[in-house]
Each structure stands twice: as structure tokens, then as C-alpha cells.
Amino acid sequence: MRPFEPFFRNRHILTIAANFWPRNYADVFEPRARLFQTEEDVRILGIVQEPRQTPQGDVILVHGLEGSHNSGYMVSMAQTLLRAGFRTTRLNVRSCGGTESYCRTLYHAGLTSDLAHVVRTYREESARPIFLIGYSLGGNVVLKFTGEAGESLRGVVAGVVGVSTPIDLDACCRQMMRLENQVYERRFLNRLKERYSKRAADFPELFPVDGLTGVRSVFEFDDLFTARHFEFGSGANYYETQSAQRFLDRIAVPALLIQAKDDPLIPFSVYSHPSIAANMNIQLIATEHGGHVGFISRKPPRFWADEVVRDWITDRNGTKRTSTAS
């Protein structure tokens, strides 16, 4: 693994630049939409792409808060893995990626049942190795799912990866409320409120809007709306019960955590959780710089985390590495 040499050393610039950095790929791996019926009235959308050769395995990618299959980090990671010979599925969580009409619910940071359904479906269809990659909120989903399943995932999932994962939702929410991070909180909050308003317009009986306009933080939104919708009781209980850190000790398959120490949204102190050091299945790669889902490298390939994840997966899978330039 080559050391990470950041294009920028400012954590905010790294975070924001990664969000807008161009991912201009020729459409050489034709995308195909696939709907998964995870519950009677819930469908989620995956964008599936096949490599040129027989797939070495399946990789399921899960995006972050208010992201989608079109998020830049999802696109570049998929391209890197396709070139390495893996079939990729960029999975949208409920109501994201233009799928509002496919279900009558919201999503939350610990909702693992949809991912579990997709993993079961792929295992029933093929004996190929399955890998999971989650970014930010998606990382919490992937790691929580893996810990919940425990030993039952052996022989089903070959490895899991969490990139910039808020394993302690309460600590990370408090971090986002700091003055220097208001630009992120406003962006996330505005998108959450917009999504909720659309849900309320379609299903007013399920999504009461009382108090929505007065919400001033992501915590308030989760406390008043997410927790109520999913019957967590309160935002504090939602964060406590759905944080991946509660399940790390039960992860029984290889797991890679990639985390920047300067992540503006995730205090690195949460990665001192004892389960990370105690669980021999977990490997933590911590960089001094990187921002939040940033990791823009000074030298090509630009998307350093993509390269690291690809190499880690191919090592777990026993496949030959291929080089890429981004």
C-alpha cells in the first residue's frame, strides 16, 4: 500500500474537493438497473455493472447520508473494481437515487434489513465471493449488519469495508454541530428536510410535518422525525442503538476501516473503541489527512482510498491486481 500524500492538507478543502472532483469515465461497463423487493411495500434500486471477463466476485456499495448511486466516490470505486474483474452493485438506500415512489418509509443509519436481503439474494444466485463497501452513513450500515450477523456471515461475505464511518452516531452528530462544520450540517439538514417534505406530500398520514420548519440541526431532525418514524423514542436512543460501535466485537469476517484523523465530521477518538483493537478480524488504516470521504492524492491515481480498497479486496479474494489511473 502506497502512503497517502494529500493533494491538499486542509481537511475542509479535501472533503469539499472530493465531492466535486470530476470522475469522467467512458461508459465501458454498461449500467443496468435492478430492483430488489426487500419487503412487501419496499423496493430499493441497485445499479449493476459487469466486468469484461467472468466476475471474480460481487461487490455491493452503499452510499452516505443523502447520497446515491451517482455519488462520486461510488462511481470511481465501482470503476476501479470493474477493471479489477468484479461485478459491482451501487445500492441506493430507501428513497434515494430517485426512488421515492418505491417505498413509503424513510431510511436511517442502522437500517440493515435491505442490505441483508440483497446479500441473501446474491448468495442464492451465485457462489461467488461477496464484498461490502460502505461510505459514511453507509459504512455504519455495512459494519452494523456484519456485526449483527456475526458468525452466520462466514462463507457468505468475504470481507467488508467502511470508509469514513461514523461508528458513534452521537459523537459524530455533536461534531457536526461545531461552528466550523455548519456548512456541512446545513447542507445535510436542508436535504433531509426536503426529502421529508416530499414524503409528506405523497403520504401525509405517515409523515406529519408539525415542527419541521423550526428544525435547526440534524440532531433535532432525527429526534423529532427519524426517531418518531422508526419508533426509536428519541434521537438519543436512535443513536445509541444504531451505532456500529455496539456491534464491532461480533464481526466475524475480514473488515477494513479507512479513517482520516483530520475528518471534520468524525472525531478520531471514536476509533479508540476497544473492539477495534480486540477484534482480530478488523484492520484500521488511519491517515493524518484525508478529510471526510476525501483522500484525494497528490499523485495519480487520485482516488487513494479506491486503490487501497481494491488491493485489500483482491488480496482477500486471491485475484491478480491491476493498476488504474484516475
Q: Using one digit for the tens of pLDDT, what is the confidence trace for 186-199?
A: 999 999 999 999 99
Read off the amino acid at residue 310: R
Predicted pLDDT at 52: 92
pLDDT tens for each residue of 259-268: 999 999 999 9
Q: For 303, how many CA atoms within 13 A lie in the half-sphere containing its CB? A: 28
Q: Give the integer Cα–Cα distance in Å for 115 and 312.
A: 21
Q: What percent of the chain has pLDDT over 90?
A: 93
Predicted pLDDT at 62: 98
| CATH number where 105 lies | 3.40.50.1820
Quote the domain boundaries for residue 85.
Answer: 11-168+243-317
Count the domains in the chain: 1
Among 16-30, 161-175, 209-223, 290-304, the minimum mean pLDDT is found in: 16-30
pLDDT higher than 60, residue 321: no
Tell me which of 222, 243, 292, 326 is the catalytic residue. Answer: 292
Question: 1 lies in a domain?
Answer: no
Biggest CA-to-CA distance, the chain? 56
Question: 188 lies in a domain?
Answer: no
Question: 286 lies in a domain?
Answer: yes
Q: Identify whether 263 is a catalytic site residue.
A: yes
Question: 190 lies in a domain?
Answer: no
Q: Could you give the residue ranges of the DSSP H alpha helices within the chain?
A: 11-20, 72-83, 113-125, 137-149, 169-176, 182-202, 218-221, 227-229, 235-242, 274-278, 304-317
Average pLDDT over residues 55-70: 97
Predicted pLDDT at 195: 94
Question: 66 lies in a domain?
Answer: yes
Average pLDDT over residues 13-26: 87
Q: Give the residue from 56, 59, 84 showing the smallest Cα distance to 135.
A: 59
286 phi/psi in degrees, rounded to 5: -115, 125
pLDDT higher than 70, residue 326: no
The percent helix, strand, coil of the chain (3-state, each to 5) is 45, 15, 40
26 dihedral zone (left: phi>0; alpha: psi -120 to 50; beta): beta
Tell me which of 58, 222, 263, 306 is the catalytic residue. Answer: 263
pLDDT higher than 70, residue 319: no
Predicted pLDDT at 27: 65
156 phi/psi in degrees, rounded to 5: -110, -50
pLDDT tens for each residue of 227-255: 999 999 999 999 999 999 999 999 999 99
Band of residue 23 on the pLDDT scale cut at 50, 70, 90? confident
pLDDT higher than 70, residue 22: yes
pLDDT higher than 90, residue 132: yes
pLDDT higher than 60, residue 133: yes
Question: 230 lies in a domain?
Answer: no
Q: Give the residue from 246, 302, 4, 259 showing the smallest Cα distance to 136.
A: 259
Question: 156 lies in a domain?
Answer: yes
Predicted pLDDT at 320: 52
Tell me which of 136, 164, 297, 326 is the catalytic residue. Answer: 136
Cβ pair 110, 142 in contact under 8 A = no
Provide the mean pLDDT of the chain. 94
pLDDT higher than 60, residue 325: no
Pairing between strand 58-62 and 31-39? unpaired
Average pLDDT over residues 282-297: 97
Of residues 321 and 98, more confidently modeled: 98
Question: 2 lies in a domain?
Answer: no
pLDDT higher than 50, residue 324: no
302 dihedral zone (left: phi>0; alpha: psi -120 to 50; beta): alpha
